[in-house]
Structure 1
Amino acid sequence: MTNPSTFSRRTLLGAAAALSAVTLPSLAQTKTVLRISTPAVPDDWHAKMWTVFKDALEKSAPGEFDVQINLNASLFKQGTEPAAMARGNLELSSISAFDIAKLVPEFSVFTAGYMVRDPVQQQNIFNGPIGAELFKTVSEKMDVTPLATVYLGTRQLNLREVKNVKTPADLKGVKLRMPGSKEWLFLGEALGATATPLAFGEVYLGLKTGTIDGQDNPLPSVRAAKFYEVTKQIVLTSHLVDGIFIAISNKSFNALNAAQKQKVTAAAQAAAAYNNENRVKEEAQLVEFFKKEGLQVTTPDLDAFRKAVQTTYQNSDYAKVWPKGIVERINATK
């Protein structure tokens, strides 16, 4: 005959085991899934930064989030991420000023040449009142919330033949490859060159054959694409301090509690800081790399370029949608 107390213990243990079998998967399912989509390749700093984001969040909120990183545009094609986030089909991505300007025209001020001087000013602009105002508009119009500003690089000119470039007038007649959109082509013309649209994959051959006289890109891209093999000069015009923005779907962000929102934001800012520090360091080292490869590296009259390009933009249709006084406020930000 079974001892009643033994039966009770067995019953309780069995019930506890059954409960744990139900509870453990339930607990696993309570993790908030954060899927990240980016076109970045694994070796790029703005791909590596997502691991920093994941690690920071795991440290500050252990077990609360399931962060899934998808590189190489394997989850969503480049440029489709903002719409996917707005629909609630994607949690996180990095979006460009050009992406934002399509739906928030006033943001196009940051697609213009010489609006941002350097990475430090870039961070001060977007971490200050200008950024707060514009990010609020982005959230309202795009259903995504920008969390941090990522330095993507400063675009420089890269010419196949050495030229004495001091002012925009010195680029007259230079066939300068630019990305194919009207915004990019306008920037090329504002620099004084003859803007020529050409797919990125065709630039190397275009430089080699003389179809184009030059191209513009951040220095890491010049090295990665080996453009230095078919060019002789880099002109440090620093005409566009490029950035992307770590953003989260409003649907996902609003589903978080206040503490989780703070932790996700802090993780995004840690990721951006990691990228920014390493990208600035790499750019500084690349000047010496190109010199060793035999390229001349020159610096033009930046004030002359800045004045000419800003004047061109302010007299264009683009400036008509910019918030009143925004250029002066940007210029006044140190």
Structure 2
Amino acid sequence: MSGMLTSADAHPADYPTVRAVEFMGRFLSEKTNGRLGIKVFAGGQLGNETDTLEITSFGGLDFNRVNFAPLNSIEPMTLPFSLPFVFDSVDHMRRVVDSAVGDKVLASMEPHGLIGLAIYDSGARNFYNMRRPIRTPEDMRGLKIRVPASDLYVAMVNALGANAVPIPFSEIYQSLAQGVIDGAENNWPTFVGERHYEVANYLSITEHLLTPEALVMSKASYDALDPADRSLVRQAAKRSVIEMRRLWDARVQEAKDVIDRSDVRVNPVNKAPFAGLMRPVWDQFITTWAQRRIVDAILAMREG
């Protein structure tokens, strides 16, 4: 196989995941004297992640960067990475996904027509609201917190004592400004980039989710490559993780600098009382022995 391979990403063109796949394309081009490359269609040009995932599994797209949420619905082994408070830090999450645990989760996608190539960051998500600091789960009582349309997010927020309100991402700012919701949750770059900090000036560092993202390749496209090119693709994907993390960490720091100069009140959180309320949520979504093995392996890799 030769020529320009295609890749989809819902994130905008300057996003770290998009730039990481472009880095991968340059790596492939250099190693093959221009015979292979990657064209990235960013900003959701080819549809939402559920749609592009289906297209990729059928071979209509070569690569796809997706959140774990749409993968959760097709492969149960991806669910443990999406559990609230399963990772206790960014370092812990990266240690897990770089290990045999990450390899096992990536390999689980193959029966669905997908080759799991790499696991990227999606940031540590924190709660922010316009009412009060959240230091304990009691502080969440009665708060209307926006969540994505996800059963897992709804179960998590409700288990913490707040009221989960699923609304589209694009409506968060307006809903906060109008008091339709009291708060939301997301990572540092989104909190700043979407200007949510202008209307929600209490940020609590809960880091309740560190769900990563995946770079997958169509199995049909992968199988069409000769063995040497397959090896190159895997090598390029691993290298792209380093680039993605470099770009991501810089973006997080930029967002923190903006918040330092703002009126937002940032408070640390003792995560243990929050994590202690997650057992029913974990039990609702982790239902097989194989999934529990993954969860146990993740927990065993915590420091201390």
Indicate whether the TM-score tops 0.5. yes
1:104-149, CA deviations, whole angstroms, 9 ceiling, x for partnerless residues? 1232222210112233322322222222222222112x11111111
The letter of the residue matching 1:220 is P
**Runs of 4 or more consecutive aligned structure 1 residues displaced over 3 Å after TM superposition:** none
Counterpart check, 1:94 vs 2:65: yes
Q: Secondary structure at the match of 2:277?
A: helix
2:103 pairs with one of 114, 125, 132: 132
Q: How far, CA to CA, are the matches of 1:306 and 1:64 in structure 2?
A: 50
Q: How far, CA to CA, are the matches of 1:121 and 1:237 in structure 2?
A: 15
The letter of the residue matching 2:100 is P
1:261 pairs with one of 227, 230, 234: 230
Q: 1:13 — aligned with what?
A: none
1:72 pairs with one of 20, 38, 43: 43
Q: How far, CA to CA, are the matches of 1:281 and 1:63 in structure 2?
A: 30
Q: How far, CA to CA, are the matches of 2:47 and 2:196 in structure 1?
A: 29
Instruction: Tell me if structure 2 keeps the 8 A contact 1:155–1:219.
Output: yes
Q: 1:326 — aligned with what?
A: 294
2:85 pairs with one of 108, 114, 127: 114
Shift in CA distance, 66/290, structure 1 to aligned 2, threshold 3 Å:
closer
The letter of the residue matching 2:71 is I
Is the radius of gyration larger for structure 1 or structure 2?
A: 1
Q: 1:231 — aligned with what?
A: 200
Q: 1:52 — aligned with what?
A: 23
RMSD: 1.8
* Structure 1, gaps ≥5 residues long: 1-29
Q: How far, CA to CA, are the matches of 1:224 and 1:132 in structure 2?
A: 32
2:76 pairs with one of 87, 97, 105: 105
Instruction: Tell me if structure 1 keeps the 8 A contact 2:203–2:264.
Output: yes
Q: 1:11 — aligned with what?
A: none
Q: 2:131 — aligned with what?
A: 161
Instruction: Tell me if structure 2 keeps the 8 A contact 1:287–1:297.
Output: no
1:82-111, CA deviations, whole angstroms, 9 ceiling, x for partnerless residues? 211111111101122111111112322222
Q: 1:178 — aligned with what?
A: 147
Structure 1 stretch displaced more, 151-160 or 31-40: 31-40
Structure 1 stretch displaced more, 223-232 or 108-117: 108-117
Q: Secondary structure at the match of 1:271?
A: helix
Q: Secondary structure at the match of 1:317?
A: helix
The letter of the residue matching 1:333 is M
Counterpart check, 1:313 vs 2:298: no
* C-alpha displacement of 1:181: 2.4
* C-alpha displacement of 1:264: 0.9
Q: 1:151 — aligned with what?
A: 121
Q: 1:15 — aligned with what?
A: none
1:56-83, CA deviations, whole angstroms, 9 ceiling, x for partnerless residues? 1112222221422211222343321221
* C-alpha displacement of 1:290: 1.1
Corresponding pairs, count: 301
Q: 1:36 — aligned with what?
A: 7
* C-alpha displacement of 1:155: 0.7
Q: Secondary structure at the match of 1:323?
A: helix
Q: 2:249 — aligned with what?
A: 280
* Structure 2, gaps ≥5 residues long: none
Q: How far, CA to CA, are the matches of 1:119 and 1:68 in structure 2?
A: 30
Q: 2:272 — aligned with what?
A: 303
Structure 1 stretch displaced more, 171-180 or 286-295: 286-295
**Which structure shows the bigger proportion of residues in helix conformation?**
1
Q: How far, CA to CA, are the matches of 1:228 and 1:34 in structure 2?
A: 39
1:127-174, CA deviations, whole angstroms, 9 ceiling, x for partnerless residues? 22222222222112x1111111110111111111233x2222221111
Percent identity, aligned pairs only?
A: 19
The letter of the residue matching 1:229 is E
